[in-house]
Structure 1
Amino acid sequence: MRYDIEKRPSYAVLDVTLAEGEAIETEPGAMMTRSAGVEPETNVGGDGGLTGAVKRAVSDERGLVDNAFIAGADGASVTLVPEHPGDVTGIDVGERGPVRSQSGSLLAWEPGVERSTELNDRSNLFSSGELTVLGLAGRGMAFVSSYGSMYEADVTPDDPLVVDEDHLVAWTAGLDLNRRKDGSLKSTVLGGEGFVTEFRGSGHVWLQTRNPVTFGPVRAEHEDDDDGPGLGDFV
């Protein structure tokens, strides 16, 4: 598999080129184009299909379905796009070791990448209440998207990192996490919980430069509202 990320950072497009028999798995609705020789396959609930043993990560109804695109000839291609404006970054899961990702950021992955839902206190990291934490393990590339540009930071034992958790995209699994409220956050002013996560140890964190909790609800709330935005429309 070869890949190129174009139109970044604002409107990133992931262009994947496959050899015959290779495949890329994606979230529903991620495909923009594909070669005529690429065969799509839909897996429901992670049973059967291309890998037969995908560990499911159900964060919403769409989490029950994934798509696989299988090349019938060398040089077949698929272009993939996230559902929101922003960037896309590739993570070599085998090289980085296990990675944790917020469920809404995962765009695509190679079949060797195993996914699972992290059913512990980290599943409530995101104040939107709609996202969960995914575990990514195994070998291969995983592609994550950000709302806004992707920003990366290293964490060392001498330099912990404190993050507004709604800017979190992904992090390496070996990091220690400590979650707490922080009154300085924008979400607190607007009525949200205002949580930060402190990362300690040695590892890497991927962040998004825009907060979807602040921007996203406004659009949804005003589809049927002609009175203009108010403070309550941001929470």
Structure 2
Amino acid sequence: MAFSIDSNMQFPLVEVTLERGEQVYIQRGSMVYHTPSVSLNTKLNGRGSGLGKLMGAIGRSMTSGESMLITQAVSNADNGKLALAPNTPGQVLALELGSKQYRLNDGAFLALDGSAQYRMERQSVGRALFGGQGGFFVMTTEGVGTLLANAFGSIKKIELNVDEMTIDNAHVVAWSTELDYNIHLENGFVQSIGTGEGVVNTFRGTGEVYVQSLNLETFAHSLESFLPLSDG
């Protein structure tokens, strides 16, 4: 998947160039513009075919909060153009898949090369209850290709080398599958209330963690005093 990101834009668009027959899966609602050769198709967000694919898509939607539908963009000619924009203002991160694979936090997925794919990996009950990564399942990439992830704010890469790091879970964008991770409350329930720090994610091992500078939940709370109260 060939793409470019305009570094002169504060909140850049991603322009993807598709050759004849090339396809890419994109976040629903992320399309900004495309040339006539590119068509957008709604697909079931599941594997296999027939009834099994339908049930798999329904299962994903019920257990992980994912949409049961995903948008596929495909070009019927060379040099097809497709521009994408995230649903939150911030940077776009390009991750090359192959020898490295990643897990993604909720809302981080923007686009995936048609030659790569992802699976929903079951999490422990504790991770599901505390985490924001799709409940009982977390998105895990596989195959060879390019993954585009989006962040709220700027992105920082943290590299661990047989090391440990605890990060506010709302700031986590993506992390290497080689890393062990544990989603939990910072210092227990009472201490979490006192410090204002809630759910955190502790990573251990060797790999990469990508974090975003802004917290969408905190930002939403900061707007509450400016919003009119509901009559209900």
Q: TM-score per shorter chain, which class? A: 0.7 to 0.9
Residues 53, 109 of structure 1: CA spacing in aligned structure 2 closer, same or farther, 3 A cutoff? farther
Name the CA distance, whole Å, in 2 between partners of 1:23 and 1:128.
26
Secondary structure at the aligned position of 1:95 is classed as coil
**TM superposition score normalised by structure 1:** 0.80
Post-superposition shift, 1:133? 2.4
2:99 maps to 1:95: yes
**1: CA distance, partners of 2:217 / 2:70:** 25
1:51-62 aligned at under 5 Å gives the runs 57-58=60-61, 59-60=64-65
Please give the per-residue CA displacement for 1:187-226, whole angstroms capped at 9, x wherever unaligned: 9459977122221111111110101110124547855439
**Equivalent residues in 2 for 1:154-169, closer than 5 Å:** 154-157=159-162, 159-169=163-173
Where structure 1 has 5 or more consecutive residues not aligned to the other structure, the ranges are: 227-235
1:169 to 1:220, Cα distance in 2 relative to 1, 3 A: same
- Counterparts of 2:194 and 2:184, CA distance in 1: 18
Does the C-alpha gap of structure 1 residues 136 and 206 become closer, same or farther in structure 2, counting only changes over 3 Å?
Answer: same
Once the two structures are superposed, the pairs formed by residues 85-124 of structure 1 within 5 Å of their partners are 85-96=89-100, 98-121=101-124, 122-124=127-129
Paired residues, number: 221
129, 144, 162: which one aligns with 1:139: 144
| 2:181 partner letter | L
CA distance in 2, matches of 1:199, 1:179: 9
Please give the residue correspondences for 1:1-235 in structure 2 after superposition, counting only pairs within 5 Å.
1-7=1-7, 10-46=10-46, 57-58=60-61, 59-60=64-65, 63-96=67-100, 98-121=101-124, 122-126=127-131, 133-157=138-162, 159-182=163-186, 188=192, 194-219=198-223, 223-225=227-229
Question: What is the percentage of aligned positions where both structures have the same residue?
Answer: 26
Stretch deviating more after TM superposition (70-79 or 5-14): 5-14
Partners of 1:36 and 1:117 in 2: CA distance: 33
**Is contact 1:102–1:131 with CA below 8 Å preserved after alignment?**
no
Compute the RMSD of aligned alpha carbons.
3.5
Task: Indicate the SS of the match to 1:118.
Answer: strand
SS where residue 21 of structure 1 aligns?
A: coil
3-state DSSP of counterpart to 2:107: helix
TM-score (normalizing by structure 2): 0.80
Unaligned runs of 5+ in 2: none
Rounded Cα–Cα distance in structure 2 between residues aligned with 1:206 and 1:131: 22
8 Å contact kept, 1:23–1:68 = yes
Task: Give the 3-state SS of the residue equivalent to 1:215 in structure 2.
Answer: helix
In the TM superposition, residue 109 of structure 1 has moved relative to its aligned partner by 0.3
